Amino acid sequence: MRGREFIVVLFLALVVSTGGCLFNPRDPEPPGQEEEEPWVNPIAPKNVFLNLQTGLINKSNSNYERSLDPSYTFVPRPEDEAALGSDVFANWTKDVELDVITRLKGEYLGERTVQFGDENLTFERESIEVGKAEFEGDYEIVLNRGDGSKETYAGKAIFYIEETTQGWVLKKWEDIDVSGTNPTSGYLRGTLRGSG
Protein backbone atom coordinates (compact mmCIF):
# COMPACT_ATOMS: atom_id res chain seq x y z
CA MET A 1 0.00 0.00 0.00
CA ARG A 2 2.89 2.38 0.78
CA GLY A 3 4.17 2.08 -2.80
CA ARG A 4 0.83 3.19 -4.18
CA GLU A 5 0.68 6.21 -1.81
CA PHE A 6 4.19 7.21 -2.83
CA ILE A 7 3.24 7.11 -6.52
CA VAL A 8 0.13 9.24 -5.87
CA VAL A 9 2.15 11.82 -3.91
CA LEU A 10 4.83 11.86 -6.61
CA PHE A 11 2.18 12.34 -9.29
CA LEU A 12 0.55 15.23 -7.40
CA ALA A 13 3.94 16.87 -6.88
CA LEU A 14 4.62 16.57 -10.61
CA VAL A 15 1.26 18.13 -11.49
CA VAL A 16 1.80 21.04 -9.10
CA SER A 17 5.36 21.66 -10.34
CA THR A 18 4.24 21.84 -13.98
CA GLY A 19 1.56 24.40 -13.30
CA GLY A 20 -1.30 21.93 -13.30
CA CYS A 21 -0.72 20.55 -16.78
CA LEU A 22 1.41 17.54 -17.66
CA PHE A 23 1.21 18.07 -21.41
CA ASN A 24 2.12 21.28 -23.20
CA PRO A 25 -0.10 21.99 -26.17
CA ARG A 26 1.64 22.73 -29.45
CA ASP A 27 1.05 25.88 -31.42
CA PRO A 28 -1.67 25.47 -34.03
CA GLU A 29 -0.74 25.28 -37.71
CA PRO A 30 -1.33 28.53 -39.56
CA PRO A 31 -4.46 28.28 -41.70
CA GLY A 32 -4.05 27.51 -45.37
CA GLN A 33 -0.71 25.70 -45.15
CA GLU A 34 -0.53 22.43 -47.05
CA GLU A 35 -4.30 22.38 -47.51
CA GLU A 36 -5.51 20.52 -50.54
CA GLU A 37 -7.88 22.17 -52.96
CA PRO A 38 -11.30 20.57 -52.52
CA TRP A 39 -12.71 17.82 -54.69
CA VAL A 40 -15.69 18.88 -56.81
CA ASN A 41 -18.29 16.15 -57.09
CA PRO A 42 -18.23 15.40 -60.86
CA ILE A 43 -21.98 15.48 -61.47
CA ALA A 44 -21.43 17.47 -64.68
CA PRO A 45 -18.79 16.80 -67.39
CA LYS A 46 -16.98 20.13 -66.92
CA ASN A 47 -16.38 19.36 -63.23
CA VAL A 48 -13.67 16.98 -64.45
CA PHE A 49 -11.62 19.99 -65.61
CA LEU A 50 -11.95 21.68 -62.22
CA ASN A 51 -10.60 18.56 -60.50
CA LEU A 52 -7.77 18.21 -63.02
CA GLN A 53 -6.81 21.83 -62.29
CA THR A 54 -6.71 21.31 -58.53
CA GLY A 55 -5.00 17.96 -59.04
CA LEU A 56 -2.14 19.73 -60.79
CA ILE A 57 -1.97 22.51 -58.19
CA ASN A 58 -2.04 20.21 -55.13
CA LYS A 59 0.99 18.37 -53.81
CA SER A 60 -0.87 15.07 -53.92
CA ASN A 61 -2.30 13.56 -57.07
CA SER A 62 -5.62 12.47 -55.56
CA ASN A 63 -7.90 14.91 -57.43
CA TYR A 64 -6.05 14.23 -60.67
CA GLU A 65 -6.13 10.48 -60.16
CA ARG A 66 -9.84 10.39 -59.30
CA SER A 67 -10.57 12.38 -62.48
CA LEU A 68 -9.14 9.70 -64.78
CA ASP A 69 -11.01 6.66 -66.03
CA PRO A 70 -9.19 3.36 -65.31
CA SER A 71 -8.78 2.96 -69.09
CA TYR A 72 -7.46 6.54 -69.55
CA THR A 73 -5.03 7.16 -72.39
CA PHE A 74 -3.13 10.10 -73.85
CA VAL A 75 -2.64 10.57 -77.61
CA PRO A 76 0.12 12.98 -78.75
CA ARG A 77 0.24 15.03 -81.95
CA PRO A 78 2.05 13.08 -84.69
CA GLU A 79 4.71 15.84 -84.75
CA ASP A 80 5.51 15.35 -81.04
CA GLU A 81 5.62 11.60 -81.49
CA ALA A 82 8.02 12.00 -84.44
CA ALA A 83 10.24 14.40 -82.46
CA LEU A 84 10.44 12.32 -79.28
CA GLY A 85 9.95 8.80 -80.61
CA SER A 86 6.92 6.54 -80.56
CA ASP A 87 8.34 4.46 -77.68
CA VAL A 88 7.92 7.42 -75.33
CA PHE A 89 4.18 7.46 -75.97
CA ALA A 90 3.58 3.71 -76.27
CA ASN A 91 1.04 2.12 -73.93
CA TRP A 92 0.06 5.40 -72.28
CA THR A 93 -2.14 4.32 -69.37
CA LYS A 94 -3.53 5.93 -66.25
CA ASP A 95 -0.49 4.67 -64.30
CA VAL A 96 1.88 6.23 -66.83
CA GLU A 97 -0.01 9.53 -66.64
CA LEU A 98 0.18 9.58 -62.83
CA ASP A 99 3.89 8.76 -62.92
CA VAL A 100 4.46 11.68 -65.31
CA ILE A 101 2.40 14.02 -63.10
CA THR A 102 4.46 12.96 -60.07
CA ARG A 103 7.68 13.71 -61.99
CA LEU A 104 6.26 17.05 -63.12
CA LYS A 105 5.51 18.04 -59.52
CA GLY A 106 9.01 16.97 -58.48
CA GLU A 107 10.63 19.20 -61.11
CA TYR A 108 8.27 22.17 -60.94
CA LEU A 109 8.20 23.04 -57.26
CA GLY A 110 6.73 26.52 -57.74
CA GLU A 111 3.26 27.48 -58.83
CA ARG A 112 1.55 25.22 -61.37
CA THR A 113 -1.60 26.25 -63.23
CA VAL A 114 -3.68 24.87 -66.06
CA GLN A 115 -6.55 26.45 -67.97
CA PHE A 116 -8.92 24.45 -70.12
CA GLY A 117 -10.89 26.30 -72.79
CA ASP A 118 -11.21 30.02 -72.17
CA GLU A 119 -11.36 31.79 -68.81
CA ASN A 120 -15.02 30.72 -68.51
CA LEU A 121 -14.25 27.06 -69.27
CA THR A 122 -15.87 27.39 -72.69
CA PHE A 123 -14.51 25.33 -75.60
CA GLU A 124 -14.63 25.78 -79.37
CA ARG A 125 -16.67 22.59 -79.66
CA GLU A 126 -18.76 21.02 -76.93
CA SER A 127 -20.75 17.85 -77.47
CA ILE A 128 -22.63 16.45 -74.49
CA GLU A 129 -24.80 13.35 -74.82
CA VAL A 130 -26.17 10.84 -72.35
CA GLY A 131 -23.15 9.29 -70.64
CA LYS A 132 -20.43 10.88 -72.77
CA ALA A 133 -19.06 14.28 -73.74
CA GLU A 134 -16.37 15.71 -75.99
CA PHE A 135 -14.72 19.09 -75.57
CA GLU A 136 -12.36 20.45 -78.21
CA GLY A 137 -10.34 23.57 -77.64
CA ASP A 138 -7.37 25.27 -76.09
CA TYR A 139 -5.47 24.46 -72.93
CA GLU A 140 -2.53 26.22 -71.29
CA ILE A 141 -0.23 24.81 -68.62
CA VAL A 142 2.12 27.25 -66.83
CA LEU A 143 4.85 25.76 -64.64
CA ASN A 144 7.41 27.32 -62.30
CA ARG A 145 10.51 25.38 -61.25
CA GLY A 146 10.57 27.30 -57.96
CA ASP A 147 13.14 29.87 -59.05
CA GLY A 148 10.61 32.32 -60.52
CA SER A 149 11.08 31.21 -64.12
CA LYS A 150 7.96 30.10 -65.96
CA GLU A 151 7.47 27.60 -68.76
CA THR A 152 4.28 27.50 -70.81
CA TYR A 153 2.91 24.46 -72.61
CA ALA A 154 -0.19 25.02 -74.70
CA GLY A 155 -2.16 23.58 -77.53
CA LYS A 156 -5.50 22.35 -78.74
CA ALA A 157 -6.91 19.03 -77.67
CA ILE A 158 -9.99 16.87 -77.70
CA PHE A 159 -11.04 15.71 -74.25
CA TYR A 160 -13.23 12.60 -74.14
CA ILE A 161 -15.25 12.40 -70.93
CA GLU A 162 -17.59 9.63 -69.82
CA GLU A 163 -20.06 9.15 -67.02
CA THR A 164 -19.46 6.23 -64.66
CA THR A 165 -21.04 5.12 -61.41
CA GLN A 166 -18.52 7.43 -59.68
CA GLY A 167 -19.44 10.45 -61.81
CA TRP A 168 -17.80 11.94 -64.90
CA VAL A 169 -14.16 11.03 -65.68
CA LEU A 170 -11.62 11.80 -68.40
CA LYS A 171 -11.20 8.80 -70.71
CA LYS A 172 -8.82 10.26 -73.29
CA TRP A 173 -6.79 13.44 -73.87
CA GLU A 174 -5.79 13.83 -77.51
CA ASP A 175 -3.48 16.69 -78.51
CA ILE A 176 -4.38 17.86 -82.02
CA ASP A 177 -2.58 21.17 -82.63
CA VAL A 178 -0.14 23.73 -81.28
CA SER A 179 -1.06 27.08 -79.80
CA GLY A 180 1.34 29.82 -80.84
CA THR A 181 5.00 28.91 -80.43
CA ASN A 182 4.55 27.00 -77.16
CA PRO A 183 5.37 23.30 -76.93
CA THR A 184 2.35 21.08 -76.29
CA SER A 185 1.37 18.99 -73.30
CA GLY A 186 2.43 15.99 -75.36
CA TYR A 187 5.94 17.37 -75.67
CA LEU A 188 6.01 17.96 -71.90
CA ARG A 189 4.63 14.49 -71.15
CA GLY A 190 7.00 12.78 -73.59
CA THR A 191 10.02 14.63 -72.23
CA LEU A 192 9.15 13.75 -68.64
CA ARG A 193 8.47 10.11 -69.41
CA GLY A 194 11.60 9.83 -71.54
CA SER A 195 13.74 11.20 -68.72
CA GLY A 196 12.79 8.34 -66.42
Domain membership flag for residue 1: no
- Closest C-alpha to 184, from 106, 82, 93, 77: 77
The pTM (predicted TM-score) of the whole model is 0.81
Q: Which domain holds residue 123?
A: 43-194
Q: State residue 181's pLDDT score.
A: 94
Domains in the chain, number: 1
Q: What CATH number did the domain enclosing 153 receive?
A: 3.10.450.50
* Pairwise CA distance, residues 53 & 141, whole Å: 10
Domain membership flag for residue 121: yes
Give per-residue pLDDT as tens, 30-48.
444 446 689 999 999 999 9
* Pairwise CA distance, residues 128 & 134, whole Å: 6
Domain membership flag for residue 71: yes
Domain membership flag for residue 78: yes
Percent of all residues in the chain with a pLDDT value above 90, rounded to a whole number = 74
Q: State residue 94's pLDDT score.
A: 98
**3-state secondary structure at position 143:** strand
Domain membership flag for residue 89: yes
Domain membership flag for residue 22: no
Q: State residue 23's pLDDT score.
A: 47
Domain membership flag for residue 57: yes
Domain membership flag for residue 171: yes
